[in-house]
């Protein structure tokens, strides 16, 4: 899965995030990296104990909750509270794989399996040079640089990196999700089916037999594949 979700944040939410982050006391980003990826990580991060970290994380979580595209594609079970990072000129994050299991801060030891990764861009592309999120998959390298407020969602299993920033500053929120659908091929199938149902409902009434059959198929597959 590699999905671009536009306008996750409203203009007002985006402006508030940027105002808070502009005044923030950023720290070394290695604090949340694994032993291996810490060697490749050169960026800054909003500390978890920052007074407004919880506020911004909750703002992003609310935005995810109301976003039908995210919920359809990811089928989230648990989401690690969003983190916030910053790459100034000369900073980068070399190729790495995210940890398969991560703790959820403030839960007394609860952990999640990381199925899906998300990067929510908080800086517009013209504000910095470089800083592309690079996804390495069977088709090669995909370089991603989205408008502020837009988000990219991808399978956590893939190798990825952040290219060196050569001008300006790149801000983003990033987080991991454990899906109710563990297998990525099953998630893709359900997502395609859900999109087809939504498209069909624009042309047929909800009680049309074709619509009802597809909806029934979708929910029966969910019953087979969901982990609760």
pLDDT at 57 over 90: yes
| pLDDT at position 64 | 98
Phi, psi (degrees; rounded to nearest 5) at 121: -75, 135
When pLDDT is averaged across residues 113-130 and rounded to a whole number, the result is 97
Mean pLDDT over residues 29-52, rounded?
Answer: 78
User: What residue numbers does the annotated binding site for Fe cation cover?
Assistant: 96, 98, 160
Q: How far apart are the first and last CA of the chain?
A: 22
Instruction: Give the DSSP letter of residue 131.
Output: -
pLDDT attached to residue 106: 78
Residue-level pLDDT at 180: 97
Q: Provide the pLDDT for residue 36.
A: 59
Q: Which of 113, 115, 102, 116 is CA-nearest to residue 153?
A: 116
Binding positions: 96, 98, 160, 170
Residue 138 has what pLDDT? 86
Of 29 and 53, the structure prediction assigns the larger pLDDT to 53
Neighbours of 120 (CB within 10 A): 26
pLDDT at 37: 60
Average pLDDT value for residue range 106-127: 94
Which residues participate in the annotated binding site for 2-oxoglutarate?
A: 170
What value does the mean pLDDT of the chain take? Answer: 94
């Amino acid at each position: 899965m590699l999905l671009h979700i536009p306008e996750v944040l409203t203009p007002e939410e985006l402006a508030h995030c940027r105002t808070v982050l502009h005044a923030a006391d950023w720290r070394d980003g290695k604090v949340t990296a694994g032993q291996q990826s810490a060697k490749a990580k050169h960026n800054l991060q909003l500390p978890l104990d920052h007074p407004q970290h919880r506020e911004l994380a909750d703002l992003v979580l609310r935005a995810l909750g109301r976003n039908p595209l995210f919920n359809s594609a990811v089928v989230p079970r648990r989401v690690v509270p969003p983190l916030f990072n910053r790459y100034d000129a000369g900073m980068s994050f070399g190729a790495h794989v995210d940890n398969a299991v991560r703790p959820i801060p403030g839960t007394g030891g609860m952990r999640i399996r990381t199925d899906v990764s998300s990067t929510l861009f908080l800086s517009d592309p013209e504000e910095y040079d470089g800083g592309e999120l690079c996804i390495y998959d069977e088709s090669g390298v995909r370089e991603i640089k989205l408008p502020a407020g837009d988000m990219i969602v991808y399978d956590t299993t893939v190798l990825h990196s952040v290219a060196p920033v050569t001008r300006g500053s790149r801000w983003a929120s990033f987080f991991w999700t454990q899906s109710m659908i563990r297998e990525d091929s099953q998630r893709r199938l359900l997502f395609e089916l859900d999109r087809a149902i939504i498209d069909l409902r624009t042309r047929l009434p909800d009680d049309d037999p074709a619509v009802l059959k597809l909806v029934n198929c979708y929910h029966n597959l969910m019953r087979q594949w969901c982990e609760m």
